[in-house]
Amino acid sequence: MPIQVIYITAALLFLAILPLPPEFYPLLKIVAAGTFAWGAYKNFMAKKLLLPLAYTLFAILFNPIIEINLAKEFWIPIDLIAATILLTTKQHIAE
């Protein structure tokens, strides 16, 4: 995955803490779920243990098909943690 996609996903996750129109969040879920799913796959193939589990957890949380509906107060820390994990572990996903 190109490093630019990781930066864009992290930026979208940071933007999600702002009050934005509801049309933004389905796009965020698609992008974030895809990025985390790719990260989980790549790290499972590299036979790492903890990162694929964290990426899988976030891929499930941001799954756009079977949505997990939480209040905005719960999504803000999730978005911040997800963006931080993406930025700190980007070398494990980037090609």
**pLDDT tens digit sequence for 8-56:** 999 999 999 999 999 999 999 999 999 999 999 999 998 888 999 999 9
Residue 78 belongs to what domain range? Answer: 3-92
CA neighbor of 67 nearest in space, from 13, 20, 28, 36? 28
Q: What is the pTM of this model?
A: 0.91
The answer to whether residue 95 scores a pLDDT higher than 80 is no
Our count of domains for the chain comes to 1
3-state secondary structure the chain: CCHHHHHHHHHHHHHCCCCCCCCHHHHHHHHHHHHHHHHHHHHHHCCCCHHHHHHHHHHHHCCCCCCCCCCHHHHHHHHHHHHHHHHHCHHHCCC
